[in-house]
Amino acid sequence: MTSHGMTGNNKDFLAIIGISLMFCIIGIVGIVGNTLIICFILMDRKMRRSVTNLFIMNLAISDLLIMLFGVPETVQFILNRGWLLGDIMCKIERYVLVVSLYSSVITAVAVCVERYDINIMNYMGELISLNRILTIECVLMIK
Select the more confidently predicted residue: 141 or 30: 30
Domain coordinates of the chain in residue numbers? 8-142
User: What pLDDT score does 127 carry?
Assistant: 53
Torsion of CA 88, 89, 94, 96, to 10 degrees: 110
What's this model's pTM, rounded to 2 decimal places?
Answer: 0.71
Averaged pLDDT, 64-85: 81
Classify 11 in phi/psi space as left (phi over 0), alpha (psi -120 to 50) or beta: alpha
**Eight-class DSSP state of 125:** T
pLDDT of 102 reads: 92
**pLDDT over 70 (residue 64):** yes
Distance CA 26, CA 53 (A): 24
Q: Higher pLDDT residue, 143 or 18?
A: 18
| 8-142 fold | Rhopdopsin 7-helix transmembrane proteins (1.20.1070)
Decide which of 102 and 79 is more confident.
Answer: 102
Q: In this predicted model, what pLDDT tens digit does every residue of 35-44 receive, in sequence order? A: 999 999 999 9
